[in-house]
Amino acid sequence: MIDESRPVYLRLRDEIAAAILDGRFADGDVLPSVRAFAAQQGANPLTVAKAYQSFQDEGLVQVRRGVGMFVAPGASRRLRAMERERFFSAVWPGVSEQMHRIGITLEELIERDRVTTG
């Protein structure tokens, strides 16, 4: 689900992060150029550059001048750890509160997951 209230560069960052976490980009893989990703997403190249810069600032991508931007070694592991921490600190408390409020049990969640993931 896309949160339209978030800035575009963060939504683009989420797209890239999901691609890394899903294995579409592995450690060492080249990322699409700023222009190519901007065209694909229908976004301003400066906005894409800002999203890429956030990954560079966190050491998750490496720039090779004249060659491109690459997923840094260990980036997928570090990104997964960062996203897990964000989930448990920012997302889970609200989910847990809602579960308690409407009476959803852990067993129900597990069963629902079994049914939906086959």
What mean pLDDT comes out for the span 60-66?
93
Tell me the C-alpha distance between 15 and 2, whole Å. Answer: 10
What pLDDT, in 10s, does the model give residues 33-57? 999 999 999 999 999 999 999 999 9
What pLDDT, in 10s, does the model give residues 12-25? 999 999 999 999 99
What does the pLDDT read at residue 6? 87
Residues of the chain with CATH 1.10.10.10: 8-73
H runs (alpha helix) in 1-118 = 8-21, 34-41, 45-57, 75-86, 92-102, 106-117
What does the pLDDT read at residue 111? 92
What does the pLDDT read at residue 67? 92
Dihedral sign of CA atoms 41, 44, 46, 51 in order:
negative
CATH 1.10.10.10 fits 8-73, yes or no: yes
